[in-house]
Chains A and B, each alone.
Chain A
Amino acid sequence: MRILLAEDDPDLSRQLKSSLQDAGYVVDHAPDGEEAHFLGDTEPYDCVILDLGLPKIDGVSVLERWRRDGKTTPVLILTARGAWSDKVSGFDAGADDYLTKPFHTEELLARLRALVRRAAGHAQPLLVCGGVRLDPRAARASVNGEPLRLTSLEYRLLHYMMLHQNRVISRTELVEHLYDQDFDRDSNTIEVFMGRLRKKIGTDRIETVRGLGYRLKPLHDEVSEI
């Protein structure tokens, strides 16, 4: 397991590096954003531990650049700023997990193990419908290369519609797929989620077929790659 540790504090870096090595990881250390970006861009890491307050280029920018270039390496963000607004913007930039300083080394190791295990899941085929792409393995979706931020219910809905694209899917079918039996559903559940999904992937991509249900289709000027 090869890990990139991007942290500017020399003492913390030394401590973490030795703890990670003790836990059996191979650790590369980058003391600033520039080097972190370069290493992450060129070396195949299994996971990255990224401090947000890096000199030269800040952590969020480094992460955004990797994600824009299509790097899917799991990234665990390390930061002193623990407010929810900071966490949300970290995940927005494409982080996979988040740890607030000060932290216990054991917790960092536990999170790291989970990230690596998750990333090593079985490969599944990428689903594509026009500009919409869905990666079931990483549970990630994107529209024209822009990563989508979906809740699990929205993701489930999109996943099901991607699997059955170009087919009209009834409301009942969608509700049954979306929820377990014990979740209580109100009548407009599907409308609520369709509304949110349309807002995120584009209104025209989901067609409402009156009386029958919904259909996901590529836009006219988009050609499906499969």
Chain B
Amino acid sequence: MKEADLASALHNLKRFFPALSHGRGSLAGRLIRLAAIWFIVSLILISAGLTAFFNYASVTRFQAGINDIVRNLYTHTEFDADGRIRIPELYNIRTDDIYSGLYWQIIELDNDDRVIGVHKSGSLVERSLDGPKKLDKMSGQAEFYNGIGPRRQPLRQTAVYLRIQNHNLLFIAGEDRSQLDRNVGQFALITGGALIVLALGSLVAIYLQVRIGLRPLFALTDELHDIRKGKTTRLHGTYPAEIAPVTEEVNKLLEYGQDVVERQRTHVGNLAHALKTPLSVLLATAGDNPDPLADTIRKQSALMKEQVDHHLRRARAAARAQNMGERTPVEPVLDELAVTLEQVFRDKDVTIDWRAPENLAFRGEKQDFQEIAGNLLENACIWCKGKIRVTASLSDEAQGMTLLIEDNGPGMPPERYGEVLKRGARLDESAPGSGLGLSIVDELVRAYGGKLSFDRSSLGGLKCVVILPANFIS
């Protein structure tokens, strides 16, 4: 019966917590579930054990009372010369009160166990006590058993079979045990209640312990998330001794991964650059020869150059994903670019007037900022009539830096603003430049979550507006 209960309880547990039977699920859940099962099982056993022991101790004490009555009866019962039974006076008023709950009874039996006479306590009135279901007549030992009293109340009874002066006598005493049963029930209730409170408290404690104990694992999860998001490149936190080896290995793995990516990137870079000299040879060989073969060489070389540039950018993008978190001061980059471009366009006498707060820093790699600003500035140099204005500032509304590059060239009709960002688009086929400049810039700016747009400049030409992540550095 009990085994069947336990089996069905286990079945229910498995149904509600599939992790128990499959070994999956959360670590915290698993720890808590195991602790819960252990607690519930052990507390059920403890409360059952305690109640059983209390019951045993109470009943033993209880039996001592009725045993005393029986012993009093059989010790002092005699038969007179006429063979009449003489029953001793018992100094317990309860045996005389009607249905008091304490009863005794003496039964005289002949040798064939037939009842010859019955003597009983006043409390029984005309009722009688049940005899024991079985009785070892030879032992002379008291037999304890449960019976039903005159008012249908449960009784604890004892019976002893003795031969006194050649008379067979069965002494029976019984007492109402309902108070005892109530006490045992109360004990079981209180014990059970106390243990349930203890179990719930312990479960809360275990839950907290697990959550706090596993906190480094949650921190580790957060850090790994940051790595995947590119906010950091390795695990920095200090972890407990059990987890530290894992983080060390993860860091080594990350370094290895970065190494591999770096090697691949260098490899791609070298390959791409190595292709450029042979391309130059092909172009130089074709020259301005009107021959169709030379024309094919020129066209195919241009295609190859585009491919090479494309893959170089891809390799750069892969490297960029590896290390975010860099800061590039804006001022030195604009200074270098201004100096360089004024020199490149010296024949045109270009003046680049640039302004940037000294402590403004682009949140990204220097090379990327150089590409963004360099390509836009070069474009401006190509189209301007000598004047270029560059303004970098930190703006709250853009949540970053606004970089304005303006020139006094012919500008661009607004309906073409979207068109120029398309890969390879060129407004004027005769102007120098690969035509990839603006789309490269747009690609880069987007990679940083920024925005490139165009407007009309007060200088008369085009105004490029670039929004990039930036902040002030001390």
Q: Which of A61-69, A93-101, A124-132, A158-166 contacts B (4 or more CB under 8 A)?
A: A93-101
* Contact of B387 with A by CB under 8 A: yes
Q: Could you say which residues of chain A place their CB within 8 Å of the CB of B346? A: 118, 139
From A19, A80, A91, A97, residue with most partner B Cβ within 10 Å = A80
* Inter-chain contact A149/B287, CB cutoff 8 Å: no
* Contact of B323 with A by CB under 8 A: no
Q: Could you say which residues of chain B place their CB within 8 Å of the CB of A106? A: 288
In the assembled complex, the Cα of A102 lies from the Cα of B301 at a distance in Å of: 8
Closest to A110 in B: B432
Number of residues of chain B lying within 8 A (CB) of chain A: 45
Q: Which of A9-17, A28-36, A168-176, A205-213 contacts B (4 or more CB under 8 A)?
A: A9-17
Q: Could you say which residues of chain A place their CB within 8 Å of the CB of B340? A: 87-88, 91
Chain B, 319-355, contact with A by CB distance < 8 Å: what is the 0/1 string?
0000000000000000111111011101101111111
Contact of A101 among B280, B353, B355, B432 (CB under 8 A): B280
Q: Could you say which residues of chain A place their CB within 8 Å of the CB of B115? A: none
* Inter-chain contact B274/A105, CB cutoff 8 Å: no
In the assembled complex, the Cα of A165 lies from the Cα of B112 at a distance in Å of: 151
Contact of A98 among B282, B305, B344 (CB under 8 A): B344
Contact of A183 among B280, B301, B335, B387 (CB under 8 A): B387
Q: Could you say which residues of chain A place their CB within 8 Å of the CB of B251? A: none
* Inter-chain contact A15/B281, CB cutoff 8 Å: yes
Q: Could you say which residues of chain A place their CB within 8 Å of the CB of B278? A: 9, 11
* Distance of A173 from chain B, by nearest CB (Å): 18
* Contact of B153 with A by CB under 8 A: no
A79-130 contacts to B (CB < 8 Å): 80-85, 87-88, 91-92, 96-98, 100-107, 114, 118
* Contact of A26 with B by CB under 8 A: no
* Inter-chain contact B276/A11, CB cutoff 8 Å: no
* Contact of B285 with A by CB under 8 A: yes
In the assembled complex, the Cα of A84 lies from the Cα of B373 at a distance in Å of: 9
Total inter-chain residue pairs, C-beta < 8 Å: 102
Chain B, 419-463, contact with A by CB distance < 8 Å: what is the 0/1 string?
000000000000010000000000000000000000000100000
* Inter-chain contact A96/B273, CB cutoff 8 Å: no
* Inter-chain contact A84/B337, CB cutoff 8 Å: yes
* Inter-chain contact A151/B288, CB cutoff 8 Å: no
* Contact of B279 with A by CB under 8 A: yes
* Contact of B266 with A by CB under 8 A: no
Closest to B309 in A: A82
In the assembled complex, the Cα of A139 lies from the Cα of B345 at a distance in Å of: 13
Chain A, 126-147, contact with B by CB distance < 8 Å: what is the 0/1 string?
0000000000000100000000
Classify the secondary structure of B's interface with A: helix
Given contacts A15-B281, A80-B277, A101-B280, contact A91 B351 (CB under 8 A): no
A155-213 contacts to B (CB < 8 Å): 183-184, 192, 196
* Contact of B123 with A by CB under 8 A: no
* Contact of A153 with B by CB under 8 A: yes
Chain B, 209-247, contact with A by CB distance < 8 Å: what is the 0/1 string?
000000000000000000000000000000000000000
Q: Could you say which residues of chain B place their CB within 8 Å of the CB of A92? A: 336
In the assembled complex, the Cα of A1 lies from the Cα of B99 at a distance in Å of: 143
Closest to B287 in A: A105
Given contacts A101-B279, A139-B346, A151-B342, contact A196 B273 (CB under 8 A): no
* Inter-chain contact B350/A102, CB cutoff 8 Å: no
* Contact of A42 with B by CB under 8 A: no
Closest to B284 in A: A15
* Contact of A150 with B by CB under 8 A: yes
Contact of B370 among A19, A53, A84, A91 (CB under 8 A): A84
Chain B, 379-391, contact with A by CB distance < 8 Å: what is the 0/1 string?
0000000010000
Q: Could you say which residues of chain B place their CB within 8 Å of the CB of A118? A: 346-347
In the assembled complex, the Cα of A91 lies from the Cα of B410 at a distance in Å of: 29
Given contacts A83-B371, A87-B374, contact A9 B277 (CB under 8 A): yes
B251-308 contacts to A (CB < 8 Å): 273-274, 276-285, 287-288, 301, 305
* Contact of B94 with A by CB under 8 A: no
* Inter-chain contact A192/B355, CB cutoff 8 Å: yes
Given contacts A114-B347, A183-B387, contact A152 B342 (CB under 8 A): yes
Contact of A91 among B280, B339, B352 (CB under 8 A): B339
* Inter-chain contact A149/B339, CB cutoff 8 Å: yes
In the assembled complex, the Cα of A16 lies from the Cα of B284 at a distance in Å of: 7
* Contact of B359 with A by CB under 8 A: no
* Inter-chain contact B335/A151, CB cutoff 8 Å: yes
Closest to A91 in B: B340
Contact of B277 among A12, A91, A105, A192 (CB under 8 A): A12
* Inter-chain contact B354/A9, CB cutoff 8 Å: no
* Inter-chain contact B337/A80, CB cutoff 8 Å: no
* Inter-chain contact A11/B353, CB cutoff 8 Å: no
* Distance of B77 from chain A, by nearest CB (Å): 122
In the assembled complex, the Cα of A107 lies from the Cα of B283 at a distance in Å of: 11
Q: Please name 18 pairs of A and B residues whose Cβ atoms are closer than 8 Å in the assembled complex, sorted by A.
A: A9-B277, A9-B278, A9-B281, A12-B280, A80-B273, A84-B367, A84-B374, A91-B343, A97-B344, A102-B276, A103-B283, A105-B287, A114-B347, A151-B335, A151-B339, A152-B352, A192-B355, A196-B335
Other A-B contacts than A12-B277, A83-B367, A192-B355, 6 sampled, CB-CB below 8 A, are A12-B280, A92-B336, A97-B343, A102-B280, A104-B283, A151-B352
